[in-house]
Structure 1
């Protein structure tokens, strides 16, 4: 079950979706491409602001410097807070925040099993 466009817009700005859409939320926050979607949604609202800088008269290098002065720290903190934001969204939708580390735990377990298979205990 997918959210309607209005529900999806509300979801993007931070509202919770109904309980019957928990599986969709889980897939959105921890499924394949979740980090890519999070970063895209985070950078998308910044594009009009950065485009407005192109209307300022002056040398292109000054405009590029202004854009980079905003873009670099914004992207840095967006990436740094990925885990915190996604964990918060899981909690607000009533899902287990441990889902975020599930993939890493499976990878560690596969490595451990591989090690034990090769070298024994």
Structure 2
């Protein structure tokens, strides 16, 4: 897979996943990430990467394994649902944070 111009390194990409703003030299990569085809899938994948460690925490609960599994699945599925519903707003916010103009709504 080829790297795009302005592709951030692993450390900057981790910060981007956590919601930090990238420097101006990564602006073209951010535009590609949030406007090209598949942006919703990438947004959900970033959220999944954030949620997996939190969903592993119920393994430490003093309960039977089915209860721990259901708590983890409930947390993961509800958070993914909320991100999927608010994906347009999350994208607009992140684009503005990087000094980019969000695309017009096609409603």
Query: Superposition RMSD on alpha carbons, in Å?
Result: 2.1
Gaps of 5+ in 1: 106-121
Q: Output aligned runs, 1:52-67, within 5 Å.
A: 52-56=57-61, 58-67=63-72
Partner of 1:113: none
Partner of 1:76: 81
TM-score calculated relative to the size of structure 2: 0.78
* Structure 2 CA distance for aligned equivalents of residues 11 and 49 of structure 1: 18
Partner of 2:3: none
More helix per residue: 1
TM-score calculated relative to the size of structure 1: 0.70
* Structure 2 CA distance for aligned equivalents of residues 68 and 4 of structure 1: 31
Asked if structure 1 preserves the Cα contact closer than 8 Å seen for 2:52 and 2:76, the reply is no
Q: Deviations over 1:42-98 (max 9, x none)?
A: 111221222232344543332232223322321221111111111011111111112
Partner of 1:50: 55
Gaps of 5+ in 2: 1-5
Higher alpha-carbon Rg: 1
Aligned residues: 102
Partner of 1:16: 21
Q: Secondary structure at the match of 2:103?
A: helix
